Structure 1
């Protein structure tokens, strides 16, 4: 017995190679999107922490402006503290005793931030001091970052401030 010949089907389909190539292209697209999301979150983290670092620097410069000249002369040439005071169990009294005042809310968002103050004489001028604050931290990728701000303080109230990334 002989079977009748099959009628040619007009239905078209994708070959296995075409499906595999399409799946590969889709996988590459998904990997690329994941990389974009990771990169974007890293950029947001750095931007947020730079903003916090500048708030710390501005606050410290404002604290310097509130000091008398004799208090400024009494500041050590260099001092570094952790903004969140984690070295002292979160107790800010040690930071305050060193001349760093961060306020009640800032230390809660500054985990891992360090603030360094350097006081330098201006050559030939006994009535001016250069005070530089540098805030350092580590990003979520492990890369170290820093921001600094410098102010010049005069004995009779002249102030100039410069900032640098």
Structure 2
């Protein structure tokens, strides 16, 4: 069959590279023996130990024989077993950490009962309404000298506490 030349390839010059060597015929060793005229029977047609499935033709050095589909099935089962073991281990670690947190919380509740059970975490003094004679934004420290009656303490102890609450916010 005559080969047609490609016009583009005909324009490319051929070069000889000193770095590339063409393959040569191998030289045979002196103890070379030719193949026997009769080959051993095929392992695909040999009688296997179990006649339930196709013949096992993957053989290991230890003598284990299996078919590739059997090896794939065993690998999938092993992967499933490893995934199950990893998920069980992560569940155990999560439970262990939760138990530690619960023990720490129980210890804190033992030291300060009722404190962790309520939402009130910051204590603030109760504020009362300012007296009607003072401005809402004015402080006792900003009072002028003419209005000294607002600075005088009243006879009542409760009134003194309310004045201190007004002074210190």
| TM superposition score category, shorter chain reference | 0.3 to 0.5
Given the two structures, how large is their TM-score scaled by the length of structure 1? 0.35
Structure with the greater alpha carbon radius of gyration: 2
